[in-house]
């Protein structure tokens, strides 16, 4: 037997949910222990957000270097050393994960390596390969994240890849089929298309990026086509035949059965919460049918001293949402009145061009019976966008008709990922179109597009008729 180690707040999982929760709990005076069975930083830093953005930016640079002849830049001799790209990507990940370790240690959080299993509402067992240790806690925060769903008939293998496999390829594939045109499939498909891979996207719904408006995904789809990507919508992947050097994917579209040969197939059809092997059933923690943990507004589960955050609870499975909930849970444990409010959680796709949304979509507002008006401004009427040679897309504001309060915004265009922050702030602060229109935006910047859209809402735009 082992002597239990006592702690106050025990966090399970060191992804963007767990490590942020641990730091905030420590800042608020708790004795904190964090348990991680894999790598610090979780999916996001190791095999998600960060490495995917590194590959995307490398691919984007290559594409720009080789496709800027209309600007007078001729880059025919540009080559890619993909091994070096992978090394660079790994160095970015390493910098961030060791940064997280430094932050945890600097905040006096005890880091425990191993797999946590709940024995009762105040006890976990942490298993390593050849030992086990019991921890007693007052409060726990579960942040065990999610993993890719396997599609029946597409068992992950050397040729049938999940997102992690696709991020870690040793060389640029000649061809790849991507099953699932959600954000992960679109992002990785775009990255490899930019490196020259022949990409085919198979999407079951009638549009890729189906969480966004059709007019937004249409802009992305147009750009994908320009890169030589084939996009099949309403396409049902049926099966895969694997060979030593590649795959043949069978799919059905408009009642017709088709096949494609490729070096790899990437399956990105969603993620499943890691809530099964934690001992949660014996604690009586309430879960939904999908295996998500039910929480209240302070991220508290049905067992009052146990909290849950991130991909294992309802809402969009995004890193910044996990971190946000992590702070709320830690503050709730410290007795603060913090509560979650999902109104202004942004969602971003790092496609080319990028897509971003915060707050309400027009359709959603109408469905909820909110009287709204919308205002749009195109990137094509913005000087900076033209000077960047990247002027496709638009910014759309959703405002209440009665008082012009901004309740939603969508952007498709270059730097949408950064531009959405201003609109999130506007929603959070209850600002009106006039507030944004009256804010002086530097010229020439993409930021002016938000100001101009606000002026469209007010009926007095300067740069469009
Ligand atoms: P995770 O990051 O999944 O971390 C959970 C951790 O818990 C893991 O490290 C795991 O090892 C550990 N763990 C699990 N069970 C146990 C146990 N029993 N004991 C101990 N440890 C355990 N989101 C964005 O916001 N922006 C993006 O651009 C973005 N890009 C993405 C790209 C890809 C390819 C993928 C796959 C995801 C992307 N995401 C992105 C989603 C994002 O990665 C997740 O939403 C985020 O990581 C969830 O954080 P989390 O803390 O809930 O869980």
Atom of ligand 1 nearest to the CA of 319: 25
- C-alpha–C-alpha distance, residues 81 and 132, integer Å: 44
Helix (H) or strand (E) holding 347: strand 347-349
User: Is 270 labelled as part of a ligand binding site?
Assistant: yes
Got the DSSP string for 139-161? EEEE---EEEPPPTT---SSSEE
Is the CB of residue 310 below 6 angstroms from any atom belonging to ligand 1?
yes
- C-alpha–C-alpha distance, residues 375 and 423, integer Å: 13
Q: Are the beta carbons of 356 and 348 closer than 8 angstroms? A: yes
Atom of ligand 1 nearest to the CA of 309: 52
Residue with CA closest to ligand 1 atom 53: 145
Q: Which residue has the tokens 């999407």?
A: 203
- C-alpha–C-alpha distance, residues 341 and 372, integer Å: 21
Q: What is the pLDDT of residue 76?
A: 77
User: Is 203 labelled as part of a ligand binding site?
Assistant: yes
49 Cα–ligand 1 center, Å: 9
Q: What is the pLDDT of residue 1?
A: 55
Q: What is the pLDDT of residue 75?
A: 79
Is the CB of residue 63 below 6 angstroms from any atom belonging to ligand 1?
no
Q: What is the pLDDT of residue 129?
A: 87
Express each pLDDT in 218-258 by its tens digit.
999 999 999 999 999 999 999 999 999 999 999 999 999 99
Is the CB of residue 274 below 6 angstroms from any atom belonging to ligand 1?
yes
Is the CB of residue 315 below 6 angstroms from any atom belonging to ligand 1?
no
Express each pLDDT in 19-43 by its tens digit.
999 999 999 999 999 999 999 999 9
Residue with CA closest to ligand 1 atom 50: 145
User: Is 187 labelled as part of a ligand binding site?
Assistant: yes
Neighbours of 83 (CB within 10 A): 10
Is the CB of residue 182 below 6 angstroms from any atom belonging to ligand 1?
no
pTM for this prediction: 0.97
Is 336 a catalytic site residue?
A: no
User: Is 76 labelled as part of a ligand binding site?
Assistant: no
Spell out the residues 6+ positions from residue 441 whose beta carbon is closer than 8 angstroms to its own.
Answer: 447, 448, 450, 451
Provide the CA 417 distance to its chain's centre, in angstroms.
Answer: 11
Q: What is the pLDDT of residue 2?
A: 75
Express each pLDDT in 63-105 by its tens digit.
999 999 999 999 778 999 999 999 999 999 999 999 999 999 9
User: Is 97 labelled as part of a ligand binding site?
Assistant: no
Report the share of the chain in percent with pLDDT over 70: 100
Q: What is the pLDDT of residue 325?
A: 98
Report the share of the chain in percent with pLDDT over 90: 98
- Of the residues 60, 441, 443, 463, only one is catalytic, namely 443
Atom of ligand 1 nearest to the CA of 126: 19
Is the CB of residue 224 below 6 angstroms from any atom belonging to ligand 1?
no
- State which residues of the chain have pLDDT below 70: 1
């Amino acid at each position: 037997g082992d002597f239990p180690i006592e702690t106050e707040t025990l966090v399970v999982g060191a992804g963007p949910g767990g490590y942020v929760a641990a730091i905030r709990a420590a800042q608020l005076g708790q004795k904190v222990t964090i348990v991680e069975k894999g790598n610090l930083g979780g999916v996001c830093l190791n095999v998600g957000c960060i490495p995917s953005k590194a590959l995307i930016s490398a691919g984007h640079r290559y594409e720009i270097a080789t496709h800027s002849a209309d600007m007078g830049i001729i880059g025919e001799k540009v080559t890619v050393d993909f091994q070096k790209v992978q090394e660079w990507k790994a160095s970015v990940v390493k910098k961030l994960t060791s940064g997280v370790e430094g932050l945890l240690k600097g905040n006096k959080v005890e880091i425990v390596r191993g797999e946590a299993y709940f024995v009762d509402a105040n006890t976990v067992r942490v298993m390593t390969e050849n030992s086990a240790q019991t921890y007693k806690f007052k409060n726990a925060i579960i942040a065990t994240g999610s993993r890719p769903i396997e599609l029946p008939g597409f068992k992950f293998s050397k040729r049938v890849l999940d997102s992690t496999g696709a991020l870690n390829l040793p060389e640029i594939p000649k061809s790849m089929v991507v099953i699932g045109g959600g954000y992960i499939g679109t992002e990785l498909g775009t990255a490899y298309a930019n490196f020259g891979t022949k990409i085919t996207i198979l999407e079951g719904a009638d549009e890729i990026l189906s969480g966004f408006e059709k007019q937004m995904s249409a802009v992305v789809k147009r750009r994908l086509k320009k890169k030589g990507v084939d996009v099949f919508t309403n396409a049902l992947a049926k099966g895969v035949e694997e060979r030593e050097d590649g795959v043949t994917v069978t799919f059905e579209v408009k009642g017709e059965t088709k096949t494609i040969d490729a070096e790899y197939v990437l399956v990105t059809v969603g993620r499943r919460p890691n809530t099964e092997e934690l001992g949660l059933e014996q604690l009586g923690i309430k879960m939904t049918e999908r295996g998500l943990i039910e929480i209240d507004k302070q991220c508290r589960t049905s067992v009052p001293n146990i909290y849950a955050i991130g991909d294992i609870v309802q809402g969009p499975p995004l890193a910044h949402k996990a971190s946000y909930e992590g702070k709320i849970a830690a503050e709730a444990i410290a007795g603060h009145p913090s509560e979650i409010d999902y109104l202004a959680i942004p969602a971003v796709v790092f496609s080319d061009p990028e897509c971003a949304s915060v707050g309400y979509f027009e359709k959603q507002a109408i469905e909820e019976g909110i009287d709204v008006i919308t205002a749009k401004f195109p990137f094509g009427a913005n000087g900076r966008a033209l000077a960047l040679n990247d002027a496709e897309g638009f910014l759309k504001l959703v405002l209440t008709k009665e008082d012009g309060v901004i309740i939603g915004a969508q952007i498709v265009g270059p730097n949408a990922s950064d531009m959405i922050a201003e609109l999130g702030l506007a929603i959070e602060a209850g600002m009106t179109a006039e507030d944004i229109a009256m804010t002086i935006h530097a010229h020439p910047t993409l930021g002016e597009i938000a100001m101009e859209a606000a002026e469209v809402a007010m009926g007095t735009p300067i740069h469009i008729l």
